């Protein structure tokens, strides 16, 4: 159907429907769930555990790296996809993993392959490591925007996914994330990830790891104390 004709029909219906509008009592806008003096990182880690994720608060870069290697080791990971991201660079993560004998893949390296070869590599990797833009304490959510150096597949295709979050990136409530976005244009893709992939499709029992990663880890990189 032509756009113009479609929209005219809708406009007509809007006008006719006006007298059937719903009665909604006027409400003050809902404010974000307050932190109320809670430690945002602890709150986030609790909620993350609730949704089946594994989290750790690491003090300093060294503990952060060690935490990641321990998790990768537990799953006998040999090949890992990485985002190209400031936080991971500051962490020196790529070198660290390579020294441990792991094969690492950065988007830059993948760019030189054909789409088909790239698919082979990305589908074959056993783990993906991303940074994050924010973490939301109230729901245990991590916010992952995509850019050319931050592919969507990294947190999606491998059975094990790890996100590195700086402690100051944790906010209390989802509303705060959306307030941040009002200023800047959205990237082509953003994933809000809340726990490992799961389904309740079999007799309402929870089963994890259907399509996305069944193992979801978040390390919160905090200051050394």
Partner 1 sequence: MTDFARAEHHQFLEASQAALADEHLQSMLSRLGETLGARNRQAFAQLPQSDQLRWQAKAIKDQALAQLDQLLAQLAQNIRALGGHVHWAADGQEACRIVLSILQSHGIDKVVKSKSMTTEEIHLNRSLEQAGIEAVETDFGEYVIQLARQRPSHLVAPAIHMTVEQIAQVLSQESPEPLPPEPEKLTAFARQKLRQYFATAGAGITGVNFAVAETGTIVIISNEGNARLTTTVPPVHIAIMGMEKVIPKLEHLPVFLKILARAATGQKLSVYTSLLTGPRRAAEQDGPQEFHLIILDNGRSRILASPLRESLFCIRCGACLNACPVYRNIGGHAYGGVYAGPIGAVLTPLYDGLEINCHLPHASSLCGACQAACPVRIAIPEMLIRLREQLVRSGQGASWRERWAYGLWAWMLRRPWAYGWATWWATRTLGRWAPRWLRRLPGKLHGWTAHRDFPAPAPRRFRDWWAQEGRHQFGPEQS
Tokens representing 111 are 């760019």
Query: 134: closest CA among 29, 32, 66, 213?
Result: 32
Range 67-96, binding partner 1 (CB under 8 A): none
Site pattern 6..25 for partner 1 (x: CB under 8 A): xxxxxxxxxxxxx-xxx-xx
End-to-end CA distance of the chain: 64
The residue within the footprint of partner 1, chosen from 146, 163, 164, 218 (CB under 8 A), is 146
Give the binding-site size for partner 1 (rule: CB under 8 A): 83
C-alpha distances (whole Å) from 77 to each of 73, 81, 168, 190 are 6, 11, 29, 26
Interface region with partner 1, contact rule CB under 8 A, candidates 60-68, 71-79, 96-104, 139-147: 139-147
Contact flag: residue 60 with partner 1 (CB under 8 A): no
Site for partner 1 in 151-180 (CB under 8 A): 151-153, 156-157, 174-175, 177-179
CB closer to partner 1 out of 84 and 90: 84
Pairing of strands 141-145, 134-136: antiparallel
């Amino acid at each position: 159907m032509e756009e113009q004709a479609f929209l005219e029909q809708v406009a007509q219906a809007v006008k006719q429907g006006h007298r059937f509008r719903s009665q909604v009592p006027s409400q003050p806008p809902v404010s974000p769930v307050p932190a109320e003096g809670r430690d945002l990182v602890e709150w986030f880690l609790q909620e993350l555990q609730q949704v089946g994720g594994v989290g750790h608060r690491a003090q300093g870069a060294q503990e952060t790296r060690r935490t990641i290697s321990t998790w990768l080791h537990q799953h006998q990971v040999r090949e890992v996809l990485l985002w190209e991201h400031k936080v991971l660079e500051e962490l020196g993560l790529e070198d660290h993993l390579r020294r441990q004998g792991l094969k690492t893949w950065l988007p830059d390296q993948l760019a030189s392959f054909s789409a088909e070869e790239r698919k082979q590599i990305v589908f074959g990797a056993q783990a993906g490591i991303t940074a994050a833009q924010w973490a939301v304490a109230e729901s245990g959510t991590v916010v992952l925007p995509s850019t050319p150096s931050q592919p969507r597949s990294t947190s999606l295709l491998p059975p094990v996914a790890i996100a590195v979050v700086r402690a100051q990136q944790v906010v209390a409530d989802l509303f705060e994330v959306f307030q941040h976005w009002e200023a800047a244009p959205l990237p082509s893709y953003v994933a809000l990830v809340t726990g490992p992939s799961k389904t309740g499709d079999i007799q309402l029992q929870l089963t994890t790891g259907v399509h996305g990663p069944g193992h979801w880890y978040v390390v919160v990189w905090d200051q050394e104390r």
